[in-house]
A and B are shown apart, each in its own frame.
Chain A
Amino acid sequence: MTYLIEGRDGPWELVVGLEVHAQVISQSKLFSGASASYGGEPNTHVSLVDAGFPGMLPVINRECVAQAVRTGLGLKARVNLESRFDRKNYFYADLPTGYQISQFTHPIIGEGAIEIELADGSTRMIGITRLHLEQDAGKSMHDQDPVRSFIDLNRAGVALMEIVSEPDIRSPEEAGAYLRKLRMILRYLGTCDGNMEEGSMRADVNVSVRKAGEPFRTRCEIKNVNSIRYVMQAIEVEAVRQVEIWESGGSVDQETRLFDPARSETRSLRSKEDAHDYRYFPDPDLLPLVIEEAWVQDLAAHLPELPDAKRQRFQDEYGIPRYDAGVLVAEQATADFYETVARGRDPRLAANWVIGDFFAALNRTGRTIQDSPISADALGGMLDLITDGTINGKIAKDVFEEMLESGESAAEIVERKGLRQVTDTGAIDAAVQAVLDKNPDKLAEYRSGKDKLFGFFVGQVMKAMAGKGNPALVNEALKKVL
């Protein structure tokens, strides 16, 4: 499905590339032993290294390197056994040393790809250019003093992975799908929590437009967009802005812009009279980062099953539709929950219940799968009662609601409330006869050819049996008499 912007003189194509900064999950910072955990009193997760004191030196954290390698493997990307750290020099209040240690010329991870799926079921591959490790900056607060900004360095030096995509994205929807997929992979890998509200995943969005078949035109970079929805909105309004400029005979300037969600517009960051000149050069405090192939293989061997593979396995192993499998693997916890329910049971029945009533119940009660009132084992127990004929599907819905409220097991509820399904054909035949006796007119209509009334009789019989009749047996009994 091609996304085009209709301009005055024809359609325009959108070209988007994303740079995602993903905070690495680790105990300590990339180059210092200070805590990398979120929060903390101001300037308490700060070592003298992070604050750039004279004579302080960086020493790299092995786990941060491992996390980058795991992520690279998860993105099916090339792992570079030798990479380097460069200094990106610029002055800013939240940058203590006056340079960010980053990987400019030799990143740890090279080309990879992510497959995204769109609403119409189509899939596309989005190329990954590179992933590199770098330091996060500190935080400035502007609202605590009339003339000063306050600086907290707790985040300064925390490891980031900058994941750069190729300019392969062609619509806001694709950008959203890319970010969701990337976040899913990072969460599966346990390398980033993907929490955009806390800033542990942020996106810089490069947007340009062009006529079909043209080479790329000038792009603008929209910095630090902090939700997937905003990324999609920002792309849309920025594309429209650029189309308007081109069509009115102007030209788009390459610049950095900010997205203002309140006004739904992007605006230029005050352009400084001098362009940035980061003066990258190899950090002389660090040697080349050389990792062993064997270590990479060991990390690969311990990688968890990733969403795409898991989805395929769910389709193959459980025989559930691709769409359902996709829903179930969206989060690792959901997939694990489903597998516990499905193990040794009818996997399709399990999928229907998890995706249907169970998700609806979580939604309704505002709970997550982690604090769900119904465990996977409890839900499985209920499915067992359906399968062995103790309850029918309709009663099961009531039992489920009761489980949600009381936390009792399905078997306890069925026992206590006497919800066991009636399979005694004598009782069913009696109920059928009673219904026919009560509705002679409907019976006559049916017999004169109004087949649709069969459903009416089923409903009446079930109602007469308080829903506990075995639906198959009720059907059978009715067919016999009618």
Chain B
Amino acid sequence: MMLTELTIAAAQGGLRRREFSAEELVGAHVAAIDRLNGRLNAFITVTSEQALDAARRADAILAGGGDAPALTGIPLGIKDLFCTDGVRTTAASRMLEDFVPPYESTVTANLLADGAVFVGKTNLDEFAMGSANITSAFGSVENPWKRAGDAETVLVPGGSSGGSAAAVAARLAMGATGTDTGGSIRQPASYCGIAGIKPTYGRCSRWGTIAFASSLDQAGPMARTVEDCAILLQSMAGFDTRDSTSVDIAVPDYRAACGRSLKGMKVGIPAEYRVAGMPAEIEAAWEQGIAWLRDAGCEIVEVSLPYTKYGLATYYIVAPAECSSNLARYDGVRFGRRVPGASLDELYEATRREGFGAEVRRRILMGTYVLSAGYYDAYYLRAQKVRNLIRKDFENAFQTVDVLLTPTAPSPAFAQGEKMDDPVQMYLNDVFTVPASMAGVPAMSVPAGLSQSGLPLGLQVIGRSFDEESVFAAASALERAAGFTHRPAVRAEVV
């Protein structure tokens, strides 16, 4: 049996039936990391020893025969934006190269409490700012997928949770945590042929997760199946008094939602997502998705979200504004990199010039500008008003439909070096994912098929606030219909 090919759902059963041990399961993934991480660079920090220790403890619990927590012995990758107690947490920045938090984020603490085993901290765009995982201070991540007939060209895994996506796709972990501010779970999931969900804003606690843009950041799971995402989100989600934006609503049974019938579900197709110049293969994948949902018993409804086209521009005001303030704490005094200076200001300026990479610096400057005296109304305030209109668009649409179906990204994974000279070109990768982020509603990407070049394409299901169940139900139906069994060129069992 190829342990690295198992789903989490299957592994849960196998472990309980003692078909294999947690040590074997974790060991298989650790070995795969040993073999492939040098190439893929999916992990910044690998914690093999701790993982194997944890696996042995998991085996002791499983051997006890009682009720082991749901994720006992399941090897996961943790995006290196989640603070992990005693384990270096870098945000892929030189600024935090040696930062070891003395605390555990709520999301990872929830996973640990459910028995999960962390095999390492996954790579990302620096401070989660990027869509291609090329801004990491620890080097780019390679997408394990290859274009058909082209084993050479290195493709990006998407971002910012590109390390998590690549690790799960290449079978270095059974699942991983991601964070999504404007598409950072969904877009890399789409590029790497896996599933990933950004739950409703407020569903997962932000406590202990390094902030990029506080009003948008949401943690979520990435895994190879919709059901595995449901299993992981079940553990990650929940009310947390330490996060004032965490919402006190019971977490329903997500796994059960995956099997739900779609009879009578109304699926909205937002006209505004049919953007000019959309590649035919994206259009085709979308049409296919619509057909699958219709076949599953859904009623397809054309809807209009007139303000969503302003989502991306709005995002590139709101997110940098918040980031410029959130990242002010990296000043070389209490933690992180410090570059000496003769005066306090020299210390700040040198530390922040050297500690941050170009994209982070650019966003901080942009955010500083849009909040500065004389420009606040023209940029930040206007953007927050447009954001309200976007949110109302979704509210209106969800008066008539249960979920929305769109493509996840306007293209499959592109090559390293493409789209990189113009920031705006890079930002356009998030055009379909950002609106749901602005509105705070849940959205999931599920693999739907391959492009002409043999690369995975994702479809996005967007739901009402706190109705992740409908999202899981629709995404599962798409998954079953798509029967996506393709695997990337670079993966654990390929030597």
The finding on whether chains A and B are genuine partners in a shared complex, rather than unrelated, reads yes
The digit string for B278-298, where 1 denotes a CB below 8 A from any CB of A, is 000000000000000000000
Determine whether the beta carbon of B328 is less than 8 Å from that of A281: no
Which single residue of chain B is at the shortest CB-CB distance from A51? B334
Complex interface: stretch among B150-158, B210-218, B412-420, B460-468: B210-218
Report Cα–Cα, A55/B208, bound state, in Å: 4
Q: Does A151 contact B (CB under 8 A)?
A: yes
Determine whether the beta carbon of B244 is less than 8 Å from that of A281: no
Determine whether the beta carbon of A54 is less than 8 Å from that of B244: no
| Contacting residues, chain A, for B335 (C-beta < 8 A) | 53-54
Determine whether the beta carbon of B325 is less than 8 Å from that of A54: no
| Contacting residues, chain A, for B376 (C-beta < 8 A) | 279-281
Which single residue of chain A is at the shortest CB-CB distance from B215? A284
If over half of A's interface residues share one DSSP class (helix, strand or loop), that class is named, otherwise mixed; here it is loop
Report Cα–Cα, A287/B247, bound state, in Å: 11
Report Cα–Cα, A59/B243, bound state, in Å: 7
Nearest CB in chain B: distance from A86 CB, A: 10
Which single residue of chain B is at the shortest CB-CB distance from A48? B103
Which single residue of chain A is at the shortest CB-CB distance from B384? A282
| Contacting residues, chain B, for A91 (C-beta < 8 A) | 328, 331, 344-345, 348
Report Cα–Cα, A87/B335, bound state, in Å: 22
Which single residue of chain A is at the shortest CB-CB distance from B329? A52
Of B96, B245, B324, B380, the residue contacting A287 (CB under 8 A) is B245
Residue of B210, B334, B335, B380 contacting most chain A CB atoms (<10 Å): B334
Q: Does A93 contact B (CB under 8 A)?
A: yes
Q: Does A60 contact B (CB under 8 A)?
A: yes
Determine whether the beta carbon of A54 is less than 8 Å from that of B214: no
| Contacting residues, chain A, for B215 (C-beta < 8 A) | 284
Determine whether the beta carbon of B244 is less than 8 Å from that of A285: yes
| Contacting residues, chain A, for B110 (C-beta < 8 A) | none
Determine whether the beta carbon of A287 is less than 8 Å from that of B325: no
Complex interface: stretch among A96-104, A114-122, A209-217: A96-104
Docked complex: A85-114 residues within 8 A CB-CB of B: 87, 89, 91-93, 96-99
Q: Does B368 contact A (CB under 8 A)?
A: yes
| Contacting residues, chain A, for B324 (C-beta < 8 A) | 89, 279
Q: Does B371 contact A (CB under 8 A)?
A: yes
Interface size for B (C-beta < 8 A) is: 42
Determine whether the beta carbon of A96 is less than 8 Å from that of B329: yes
With contacts A91-B328, A279-B372 known, is A285 near B99, CB below 8 A?
Answer: no
Interface size for A (C-beta < 8 A) is: 29
Of A55, A151, A277, the residue contacting B207 (CB under 8 A) is A55
Determine whether the beta carbon of A281 is less than 8 Å from that of B329: no
With contacts A55-B211, A91-B348 known, is A60 near B371, CB below 8 A?
Answer: no
| Contacting residues, chain B, for A55 (C-beta < 8 A) | 83, 101, 103, 105, 206-211
Total CB contacts across the A-B interface at under 8 A = 97
The digit string for A19-61, where 1 denotes a CB below 8 A from any CB of B, is 0000000000000000000000000000010011111111110
Of B244, B245, B325, the residue contacting A98 (CB under 8 A) is B325
Q: Does B89 contact A (CB under 8 A)?
A: yes
Q: Does A286 contact B (CB under 8 A)?
A: yes
Which single residue of chain B is at the shortest CB-CB distance from A276? B373
Determine whether the beta carbon of A54 is less than 8 Å from that of B245: no
Q: Does B358 contact A (CB under 8 A)?
A: no
Residue of A48, A96, A99, A279 contacting most chain B CB atoms (<10 Å): A279
Report Cα–Cα, A60/B242, bound state, in Å: 10
| Contacting residues, chain A, for B242 (C-beta < 8 A) | 57, 59
Determine whether the beta carbon of A99 is less than 8 Å from that of B328: yes
Nearest CB in chain B: distance from A54 CB, A: 4
Determine whether the beta carbon of A89 is less than 8 Å from that of B211: no
Q: Does B322 contact A (CB under 8 A)?
A: yes
Determine whether the beta carbon of B328 is less than 8 Å from that of A53: no
Determine whether the beta carbon of A93 is less than 8 Å from that of B244: no
Determine whether the beta carbon of A59 is less than 8 Å from that of B244: yes
| Contacting residues, chain B, for A56 (C-beta < 8 A) | 207-208
| Contacting residues, chain B, for A285 (C-beta < 8 A) | 211, 214, 244-245
Report Cα–Cα, A287/B101, bound state, in Å: 27
| Contacting residues, chain A, for B213 (C-beta < 8 A) | 284
Which single residue of chain B is at the shortest CB-CB distance from A278? B373
Report Cα–Cα, A54/B331, bound state, in Å: 12
A sample of 12 inter-chain contacts (CB < 8 A) reads: A53-B103, A54-B89, A54-B99, A54-B101, A55-B101, A55-B105, A98-B329, A98-B331, A279-B372, A279-B373, A279-B376, A285-B214
The list of the 6 closest CB pairs from A to B, nearest first, reads A98-B328, A279-B371, A284-B214, A284-B215, A52-B329, A55-B208
**A residues touching B (Cβ–Cβ < 8 Å)?**
48, 51-60, 87, 89, 91-93, 96-99, 151, 277, 279-281, 284-287
Beyond A54-B91, A96-B334, 7 extra complex contacts between A and B, CB < 8 Å: A48-B102, A55-B207, A57-B206, A96-B329, A279-B373, A285-B214, A287-B244
